[in-house]
Amino acid sequence: MHNLSLTAIILTYNEELHLGRCLNSLSKLCEEIIIVDSYSNDKTEEIARKFETRFYQHEFKSQANQLNWANENIPINTEWVIRVDADEYVTKTLQNKLTKLSEVSNDVNGIRVNRLMYFMDKPLRKGGMYPIKHLRIWRNGKAFCEQRWMDERMVLTEGETIELEGDLIDHNLNGLTWWTQKHNKYATREAIDILDKLYNFTNSKVLKSNFFGTSEERRRWLKERYLKLPLFVRPFVFWNIRYFIQGGFLEGKRGFIWNILQCFWYRYLVDAKIYEAYFKAGREKEALIKYFKDEFGYDVTKIS
């Protein structure tokens, strides 16, 4: 396989467990690989150097900030850019499809690919988990990462998008203790993100939502409806939809664990953190801003 006019951007922090696998899937595909590291203290840099990547270090504030910093400050010399997380890798099918990038129409500036998540070392294909399509490939200079507290997505500045066959595999090798600790932190950021929609802490632009639009627009539309449900009721609704209606139960015990943790426990924790913020600070905007600053050190008027 010849290297394409394609640059991969990978964000890292202590990713020695995953980085080699990720780079193996990209090294014969991409002309260049850029790693933006948040000052790892494991063997991340050593692994990156072995693959002759372009290695940079930059203070981490948020995924969006890190990606946009890379887009704006690191010279990228290829026609196309792909975003890959360190715990992800590209399948052979997607690699083969990407060899046709030079044939993509000039009016197309973005490409969506399927993201297939693994849990307990097996893929999650039921319960609404697959296929989920993300904009991960774009023409150089034609996309940016939206500024949000959680679930940031790449957004095109202009042009059309197409979809490619093949999967981007998300297979994190850490255990449940790591997962729950990570999602506890995510729940705080998700609570802020939800309250930002209600109080507009950040004066951020509201992106388009449309049930019949792209997968990202449809997910925004569905989330808007979800957020209109009462606190603590919506996690039950969400879990029942994912587990029963969308067939999460078909994944067996592993699927049950996943759906309880991701679709119920995590969503319930987010609601509990919103309730706690109201309980401690009340419902006035300035009081909530002060609460998150004092309690967590977050300036919620800025996405970081």
* pTM, full prediction: 0.91
**Tokens 């939502």 map to which residue?**
209
Closest to 206 in 3D by CA, of 215, 190, 193 = 193
At CA 86, angle to CA 80 and CA 87, rounded to 5?
A: 125
Residue 261 and residue 179 in contact, taking contact as beta carbons nearer than 8 Å:
yes
Residue 42 and residue 13 in contact, taking contact as beta carbons nearer than 8 Å:
no
Residue 164 and residue 111 in contact, taking contact as beta carbons nearer than 8 Å:
yes
Q: Phi-psi category of 140—alpha, beta or left, where left has phi over 0 and alpha has psi -120 to 50?
A: beta
To which H or E segment does residue 81 belong? Answer: strand 80-83
pLDDT tens for 155-188 read: 999 999 999 999 999 999 999 999 999 999 999 9
Domain ranges of the chain: 4-170, 176-296
CA 45, distance to chain mean position in Å, is 23
Q: Provide the 3-class DSSP secondary structure of residue 267.
A: helix
Residue 270 has a pLDDT of 98
CA 237 – CA 246 distance, rounded (Å): 12
Residue 217 and residue 97 in contact, taking contact as beta carbons nearer than 8 Å:
no
CA 85 – CA 111 distance, rounded (Å): 16
- For 280-297, letters b (16+ CB in 10 Å) and e give ebeeebeebbebbeeeee
Residue 1 has a pLDDT of 52
Q: Which CATH architecture has domain 4-170?
A: Alpha-Beta Complex (3.90)
CA 217 – CA 146 distance, rounded (Å): 13
Residue 15 has a pLDDT of 98
Across 140-274, the runs of DSSP E, i.e. the strands, are 143-145, 154-156, 160-170
pLDDT tens for 27-36 read: 999 999 999 9
Residue 205 has a pLDDT of 66
Over the chain (304 residues), what is each successive 10-residue block's mean pLDDT?
85 98 96 98 98 96 92 96 98 94 95 97 96 95 90 92 96 97 96 93 76 78 90 97 97 97 98 98 97 95 76
Q: Provide the 3-class DSSP secondary structure of residue 12.
A: strand
The conformation of residue 243, written as its DSSP 8-state character, comes to: I
